[in-house]
Structure 1
């Protein structure tokens, strides 16, 4: 039996990864850390037996408690998803974003180090670590120097550097990702694609005025489907090399305007766009597109979902929820 500890199990990715483990794999003793028990509608509607998961209510900033939990579980695998993951929120609360992200991760790897465990750890980072890039830099590979341009990205770079130190200095088995924008059903509507899909569903269900509110429509991002993300994380846990960093991305770029146009075509709802200044960030990357060549080469993973397939799933989720 392989024991796995998932931090942030109550979140978007945690729910989908748990669903994957419950539906596709056997022989896993699943433990989850979160501040409260999950309420995943994307998992519960599948009628899975959540009693097979052991939940450990815990604030990851409580080093004594997380040390006790890890000592009790002796996890073979640790998937560290817990994060203050909103860039916009990090601008509103830079200290909270940095301290929560960095110290939570440090408490986990310190517990593994001091207990001399052989746990394999996957630390989830962000494409935001690359910072402002030029068209000539694209697609971004892991060899490109990071240059974080917001508080959230700085915290994620710090996690990555801590990983390097603990791999080289203490011989821990840690891999890191620089994950690009992942999307899918169940994601909170504070994230741009989920927000736009919800607005379309609200128009359809509640007969609202056909107006979509966005920030900068020209921003281009590499959006990767959550089901592909889950398979990528599983592949890294199985085959990833300690100390290595892997892009998790689709290799394709779509602007926010593209997302709106695609959803308009999908729903057959002609809309007007309102740009809202409160949705704009003080500094923003105009374009981020990654290369998954390294991850494919070392694990065989590659994305399988088109942006149209992803948007249809997200819209259907919101349509059903609002109905």
Structure 2
């Protein structure tokens, strides 16, 4: 008879935290699973205290008897120590972060306090109060920064170009130091861009899919207002030339769980191995919504739209305010090591990822008062 494992997940209200919790809680419903001790797991989701928390991402499972919300803050050493001491987790998965790259220029001290020192506080808590706990730190492709070669692997030099990237690179080094100095099971993986229906609205992919849904509805309304159509407010974006390696978050949490269940700890890199321009994401998102358009112009004057009665109807345009001070133009990862050694096989393609996000935001707009669980039934 195996005792149930305990998993502490920070950043539970975010995309990755919610997807990981839902994935682990789903093990009880699988007919077969390689590890009997991973059934009936107790999942603890850490969130910061807030006057108006948004539970949308955990709506599906927050009432599951094997799930419990707990309060803590990566900037508060005492709260992290108490959680590890009281819960005695077998796994500690850290997704909490200030994760919006653009904002890291405005508040670099806070970003480092959470993303770098926060990881240090977690490592210290595990070392002191639950040494056999397996610790995971979520890294970022932004750690690479200035690119020497593509695709990037774990041997690529670390040359971040933003405070966010620098904070994640610091966390990576801290995990390595603790793993090698104390023989802890601690891993830090490089995660390339990963999206999904739980993605925050401040990120460009969700901004695009929500914008497409809004514009689609506005165009539908205008069909009924033939004589007096309403003006369409274009979506505003930054650097359309930026290239990213996008994957599905649900694929990534499965890979992370594989990393945490090896005989010995080792860092890995997760990515799709494909790169796409933001321009391509925009085009395909509109196409998923049934809107065929094209790009015109160049640089700051580039727009996306279509001919409408002899005029060019602009649906998306460039706003220089959304450019980063130091943009990383090309990110492309090499996931071959994770595929070979972990047996990790991502299931969601780039096109299907976009379609699922666009479909979700269209439905969200049509059923604004429904919860996530109600929309999925």
Q: Where on the TM-score scale, by shorter chain, does this alignment land: which range? A: over 0.9
Matches within 5 A, 1:46-125: 46=60, 49-115=63-129, 117-125=131-139
Cα deviation for residue 203 of structure 1 reads: 0.8
Q: Secondary structure at the match of 1:238?
A: coil
Residue 212 (structure 2) aligns with = 200
Q: 2:203 aligned with 1:191, yes or no?
A: yes
Aligned to 2:194: 182
Give 1:187 shift: 1.0
Q: Which has the larger radius of gyration?
A: 2
Partner residue in 2 for 1:152: 164
Residue 319 of structure 1: aligned partner: 362
Structure 2 unaligned blocks of 5 or more: 29-38, 220-230, 294-304, 306-313, 367-377
1:217 to 230, 240, 252: 240
Pick one of 250, 271, 274 that aligns with 2:272: 250
1:210 deviates by: 6.7
Aligned-pair distance for 1:288?
0.4
Cα gap change, 1:221 to 1:308, in 2 (>3 Å) = same
Conserved? CA contact 1:213–1:276, under 8 Å: yes
Per-residue CA distance 1:30-57 (angstroms, 9 max, x = gap):
112110486443542x467334312211
CA distance in 1, matches of 2:104, 2:175: 22
Deviation at 1:316, TM superposition (A): 1.7
Pick aligned residue for 1:267 from 279, 282, 289: 289
**Any stretches of 5+ residues in structure 1 without a counterpart?**
none
Give the length in aligned residue pairs.
Answer: 319
How far apart, in 2, do the equivalents of 1:70 and 1:52 lie?
Answer: 18
Distance 1:275-1:41 versus aligned 2 partners, 3 A rule: same
Query: Measured at CA, do residues 69 and 186 of structure 1 come closer, stay the same or move farther in structure 2, by a change above 3 Å?
Result: same
Shift of 1:85: 0.5
Higher helix share: 1
With normalisation by structure 1, the TM-score equals 0.94
Deviation at 1:264, TM superposition (A): 2.0
What is residue 21 of structure 1 aligned with on the other side? 24
SS at match of 1:239: coil
Q: Residue in 1 aligned with 2:338?
A: 295
Cα shift at 1:206: 3.7
Structure 2 length-normalised TM = 0.81
**Aligned Cα RMSD in Å?**
1.8
Structure 1 residues 101-110 or 282-291, which shifts more?
Answer: 101-110
8 Å CA contact 2:97, 2:115 repeated in 1: yes
* Cα offset, 1:142, TM superposition: 0.7
Q: Give the 3 Å change call, closer, same or farther, for CA 7–43 of structure 1 in structure 2.
A: closer
The alignment partner of 1:159 has SS state of helix
